Every structure is written in C-alpha cells, then in structure tokens.
Amino acid sequence: MLVTIESLLSKDETDQNNFMPIYQQWQSERSSISGLLTEYVRNAFKPTVMTPYIPLMIIFIIAQFL
C-alpha cells in the first residue's frame, strides 16, 4: 500500500513534492527470505540484543521442569 502511494506521489511533478521514496528503495534493496533470516540470526547474537534472551531462556527452562 505504501509503495503504491509513493509511486502515485512520484508521478506528481509539482514543486510541493518533497518526499523520499523510502519504501520503494527498501523493497528494491531487500534480501531474499534466507538473507533476512541470516540477518536476523546474526543480529540476535549481538550482546545488546542477546542480554534479555539469557534470563528468558533460563525462566523457560525452569518452567519446563515445574
């Protein structure tokens, strides 16, 4: 839907049209499903992201034994 709106706005060639086609650019540069999953896994192991997962995993493991 947003890409459709951006394409309609890009056809308008008036001076009032000062937008950047963010979603069209993202969609054209987007990776495949495997690329997105690889990026997700790579980011999940960063220390700032992994820190909240450790207590959650411990709680989940303890809950399995109760």
Whole-model pTM: value is: 0.42
Which segments within the chain are labelled E, that is strand? Answer: none
CA distances from 54 to 11, 42, 47, 57, 61 (A): 50, 16, 11, 5, 11
Q: What is the CA radius of gyration of the chain?
A: 21
> Which pair of tokens denotes residue 52?
């909240």
The residue assigned the tokens 């947003």 is 2
The rounded distance, in Å, linking the Cα atoms of 32 and 36 is 6
Q: pLDDT tens across 3-47, in order?
A: 787 777 776 665 555 666 777 777 777 778 898 899 888 888 888
What's the confidence (pLDDT) of residue 54? 85
